[in-house]
Amino acid sequence: MKKLFTFLLLAIAFTATSQTSFGQTAAESYIDKFKDNAIRIMHETGIPASIVLGIAIHESASGKSAIAKHLNNQFGVKGSKSVVYYKNKKKVRSAYKRYDSVLDSFEDFARIMTERKQFSKLADKFTQYDYKAWALGIQRNGYASSKKWASQVLGIIEKYDLHDLDGNPANESQIAQNN
């Protein structure tokens, strides 16, 4: 009986920590918090908002990873020099880049996608509506070493319908015809 009670308490505690206020998951809260930034970046650069958010969620564990919390690094971007932060009173030396804010991390990701040679051609090749091609193109051009990376990012995009943030080309062409 005592073991059952302990198990139930642990299960309740786990459920409470895996969801945020109003029953939202960490990913859903992250999306609500940063979707406007991702949409703005999409309009400025042509990178789908779904890609920006999908990669950020994947790389930062919805903002819960150590580098996301301590360095504001949402995309796993490596830096040119070692940085130090403290985790549980222990000094941690990291090769990841530190940002002043989460928004700075989002903007640096957009800069990497538009200015680095291996990624800059993607904006010329794909539209903001072709998130699948973007994910595969980013993987093929060396963003991540895992062969499953693109399918993991695409899984997040589809699970949370992030592609809806990219707009609907059918709706947009219909609006243009009516004007």
pTM score, whole prediction: 0.81
pLDDT digits (tens, 9 = 90+) for 52-90: 999 999 999 999 999 999 999 999 999 988 888 888 888
Q: How far apart are CA 3 and CA 151, in angstroms?
A: 40
CATH number at residue 157: 1.10.530.10
In a domain, 4, yes or no: no
Is a pLDDT exceeding 80 seen at residue 110? yes
- Number of domains forming the structure of the chain: 1
Q: Give percent of the chain above pLDDT 90.
A: 71
Q: Using H for helix, E for strand and C for coil, what is the string for 12-35? A: HHHHHHHECHHHCEHHHHHHHHHH
Q: With respect to residue 72, please indicate whether it lies within any of the assigned structural domains.
A: yes
Could you tell me the residue range of the domain that residue 122 belongs to?
20-163
Banded model confidence at residue 2, pLDDT cuts 50, 70, 90: low
